[in-house]
Amino acid sequence: MSWVYIENLKKYINENVEIKGWLYNKRSSGKIHFLQIRDGTGFVQGVLEKSKVDEEIFENAKRLRLESSIIVQGKVREDPRAPSGVEIEVSNLKIVQVPIEDYPIGKKEHGIDFLMDHRHLWLRSKKQFHILRIRHEIVKAIREFYDSRGFVLIDTPIFTGAIGESAGNLFQVNYFDYGKAYLAQTGQLYLEAACMAFGKVYNFGPTFRAEKSKTRRHLTEFWMNEAEVAYYEHEDNMKLQEDLVSYVIQKTLEHAENHLKALDRDISKLEKIEPPFPRISYDDAVKLLQRKGFNIKWGDDIGGDEETAISQEFDKPVIVFNYPRHIKAFYMQPDPQRPEVVLCDDMLAPEGYGEIIGASQRIHDYDLLVERIKENNLPLESYDWYLDLRKFGSVPHSGFGMGLERVVAWICGLRHIREAIPFARTLYRLHP
Ligand code: 4AD
Ligand code: MG
């Protein structure tokens, strides 16, 4: 009898198969056990009837606790009402382990802290199963997008000497004779070096920010995908972002529609996401916010609530471009026509999911970059190699970073980002 994964059961209608998994749930009457079985690829109901199996097998099934590991043999029956499309007529049941305690996650409602404390077990629950399967498809789509366009994957380091985005939220570690090292907030500066060597590059890895804010959008460790392209200017950059986000949505719909439906995600909202996206200048965004009653003036940063208010005006992601230079990072290219703003953009997801992309054209002029580093009181020496890139064949270049968990939260329709990553790290969480 062959071992078959639940996701493939439909190909085995009326055949006898073996499933290796765990007991997700159980309902019993005196004559019949309904076993909800999961195996990591899906969920299926096994029907164990007293009249059809050996007495001993039926009696054994009574001992099963939730999350018992079990190997089940039986015939696959078509069942159009079941989400998997099939059920199993169980003929044999082997018990690998009956849990030594009652499984702590039950049918009753648990608080979020309890669930996060039991994240190592909570991962087995249906909702988490669907979310992380969708995350997997999103990651695949991101890689596919770049690979199909001739980008080269460049893995950027996690230990860094120089700082990346801002001095404010760095994690420090001791690093031998060098004293302090920092965990990467971004791989951007390294990608800038790499794009001068490979033209079109991307990375995908964990980044770290010592965020003291406890919001539903912030993690201290999150995954970022960044892209950097030599000879790309602001407009090319925004176009690339639109294409990426649309591609990711379309591929996720194609490969994970069943999981999105299982989460009750309103898929019609995602189906609309295709280029072009609406664009609004920072200047107009401030006016829009003022009309909506926000106490904001030109020059102020746009916070989380403001982002939500802007995105509510649109049913696609909206690109807010050309922010004041003093609220953005030192490396951003000032607008030649208006040096008080920089050629940058933030992409805000619809439905209030906030900023999913931060982007800009980079300063390629040596003197201007030195001036901006000094203006920001950053140590020039740490940026020696970064400045070298402006000495040897410097060209305009642009890039961006997309926060994976924000994208997952948006696509899945999650209220909080903590469920968008297998093991979340936040101000108050390092365990499990
Ligand atoms: O806007 P950010 O800070 O941009 C950069 O780091 C640039 N160096 C990227 C680049 O141009 N190569 O971060 C990029 C994205 C944000 O738009 C957001 O989606 C996500 O990373 N992000 C976070 N996600 C979760 N938790 C946090 N604490 C995040 N901080 C940023
Ligand atoms: Mg940003």
Please give the full DSSP string across 261-274, using - where no structure is assigned: HHTT--HHHHHT--
Please give the distance, rounded to the nearest whole angstrom, from the Cα atom of residue 183 to the centre of ligand 2.
Answer: 18
61 lies in the same domain as 158: no
- Confirm whether 164 is domain-assigned: yes
pTM of the model: 0.97
Nearest alpha carbon to residue 203 among 385, 401, 346, 360: 401
pLDDT higher than 80, residue 357: yes
140 lies in the same domain as 185: yes
3-state DSSP call for residue 177?
A: helix
- Confirm whether 181 is domain-assigned: yes
Exposed/middle/buried for 173, CB within 10 Å: 0-12, 13-18, 19+?
exposed
150 lies in the same domain as 12: no
Please give the distance, rounded to the nearest whole angstrom, from the Cα atom of residue 297 to the centre of ligand 1.
Answer: 24
User: Closest residue (by CA) to atom 2 of ligand 1?
Assistant: 358
CATH number of residue 251's parent domain: 3.30.930.10
Q: What is the DSSP letter of 108?
A: S
Q: Whose atoms come closest to the Cα of 186: which ligand? A: 1
79 lies in the same domain as 190: no
- Confirm whether 62 is domain-assigned: yes
| Residue-range definition of the domain harbouring residue 269 | 120-420
265 lies in the same domain as 407: yes
- Confirm whether 111 is domain-assigned: no
Atom of ligand 1 nearest to the CA of 226: 12
Q: Alpha-carbon Rg of the chain, whole angstroms?
A: 26
Atom of ligand 1 nearest to the CA of 407: 19
Supply the pLDDT for residue 163. 67
Please give the distance, rounded to the nearest whole angstrom, from the Cα atom of residue 205 to the centre of ligand 2.
Answer: 17
- Confirm whether 388 is domain-assigned: yes
pLDDT, tens digit, for every residue of 80-94? 998 889 999 999 999
Per this entry, what is the length of the chain? 432
Distance spanning both ends of the chain, measured CA to CA: 38
* Best residue among 146, 160, 202, 222 to mutate for probing ligand 1, ranked by most atoms within 8 Å of CB: 222
- Confirm whether 362 is domain-assigned: yes
pLDDT, tens digit, for every residue of 112-152? 999 999 999 999 999 999 999 999 999 999 999 999 999 99
Euclidean distance between CA atoms 338 and 236, whole angstroms: 20
61 lies in the same domain as 209: no
Please give the distance, rounded to the nearest whole angstrom, from the Cα atom of residue 399 to the centre of ligand 1.
Answer: 12
- Confirm whether 7 is domain-assigned: yes
At 266, list the tokens: 């309103």
What is the pLDDT of the chain when averaged over all its residues?
Answer: 96
As for how many domains the chain has, the answer is: 2
Q: What is the mean pLDDT of residues 302-310?
A: 96
- Confirm whether 9 is domain-assigned: yes
Strands 152-153, 200-208: pairing kind: parallel
The beta strands (E) that lie in 129-220 are given as 152-153, 159-160, 172-175, 179-183, 200-208
Q: Whose atoms come closest to the Cα of 166: which ligand? A: 1
Euclidean distance between CA atoms 24 and 36, whole angstroms: 5
